[in-house]
Amino acid sequence: MGCEDVRRVIYFFLDGSLNDAKLREISRHLDDCPDCGMRARIQKRLRQFIRRRLTPVAAPERFKVRLSRSLRALSYEL
């Protein structure tokens, strides 16, 4: 797995929506690659920052279904 692949899925990695094998693969890459490791830390902090400031809004059920379907399709492609 190269840097490009890792950067493409870093959001899903932080989100915990990848399977275990992918998670391990990416964790290993982040440990070995300072550049991607740094990006991951920045993304993580950004997510925490946004979460703290946003008020949760209930998404319409149809949207949730469509979103989880797209995410699942995406993680199969990886």
User: In the complex, which residues of this chain contact Zn ion (CB under 5 A)?
Assistant: 3, 33, 36
Q: Closest CB to Zn ion among 3 and 46?
A: 3
Q: Closest CB to Zn ion among 4 and 61?
A: 4
For residue 22, the surrounding DSSP H or E stretch is helix 20-32
Q: Closest CB to Zn ion among 5 and 71?
A: 5
Query: Quick one: tokens of 11?
Result: 């959001």
CB of 23 to Zn ion, least distance (A): 16
- Residue 59 burial (C-beta neighbours within 10 Å; 0-12, 13-18, 19+): exposed
The number of C-alpha atoms within 13 Å of 16 and in the hemisphere containing its C-beta is: 1
CB of 35 to Zn ion, least distance (A): 5
CB of 44 to Zn ion, least distance (A): 16
